Amino acid sequence: MGRVVVEVMPKPEILDPQGKAVVGALPRLGFTQFTSVRQGKRFELEVDGPVTPEVLAAAEEAAVKVLSNPVIEDVVRVADIEADAAATITSEGLA
Amino acid sequence: MGRVVVEVMPKPEILDPQGKAVVGALPRLGFTQFTSVRQGKRFELEVDGPVTPEVLAAAEEAAVKVLSNPVIEDVVRVADIEADAAATITSEGLA
């Protein structure tokens, strides 16, 4: 059983009222470091069997055609979630 | 200028009606590979200056206290977005 992660964010020129609400709330709760927040979506798609290149290609197509609105959103990531988990551990090691 | 990505997903035992709607729509549009879909949120938090360990710690605290509802959601990732981008290229290379 494999999983593919697809991530979608509002385009930079599009107003993001959810992000604006969050960036307004953060300083009131003591988080003064953050100057801007954008809110998007994360999807986890499950397949029977492994995440093959064909599955990734289908996920990329679904990301553009079904999971995002290309007028206002960009697909920022399509990746095998297991490879991603390994990569995240690496990046935490670097941080 | 640094950016931190925070990702939040509904807990596995929580019903996810948005994910159910997507998994119902995909086969009608020709995507028959995917057996389950969960939909969560992705936040990009911007800071002036670099993403230090202190910034990451603040983002982790904000993720739990502001960006997610711990009753129904899990924070699945808090990472420096630049390190993340590098890691994603690596995982695409592996895929």
CATH number at residue B8: 3.30.1280
Look at residue B51 and tell me if it is in a domain.
yes
CATH of the domain at A57: 3.30.1280.10
Look at residue B49 and tell me if it is in a domain.
yes
Reading chain A (95 residues) residue by residue, the pLDDT tens digits are 899 999 999 999 999 999 999 999 999 999 999 999 999 999 999 999 999 999 999 999 999 999 999 999 999 999 998 865 554 444 443 33
Q: How many domains does chain A have?
A: 1
Identity of the residue in A33, A36, A40 whose CB atom sits nearest the CB atom of B55: A33
Look at residue B26 and tell me if it is in a domain.
no
Domain that holds residue B67: 2-13+40-94
Identity of the residue in A33, A44, A61 whose CB atom sits nearest the CB atom of B47: A33
Q: Which residues of B touch A81 (CB under 8 A)?
A: none
Say if the Cβ atoms of A45 and B58 lie within 8 Å. Answer: no
List C-alpha distances in Å: A56 to A5, A12, B11, B33.
Answer: 10, 26, 24, 10
Look at residue B64 and tell me if it is in a domain.
yes
CB of B28 closer than 8 Å to CB of B91 = no
B40 Cβ under 8 Å from any chain A Cβ: yes
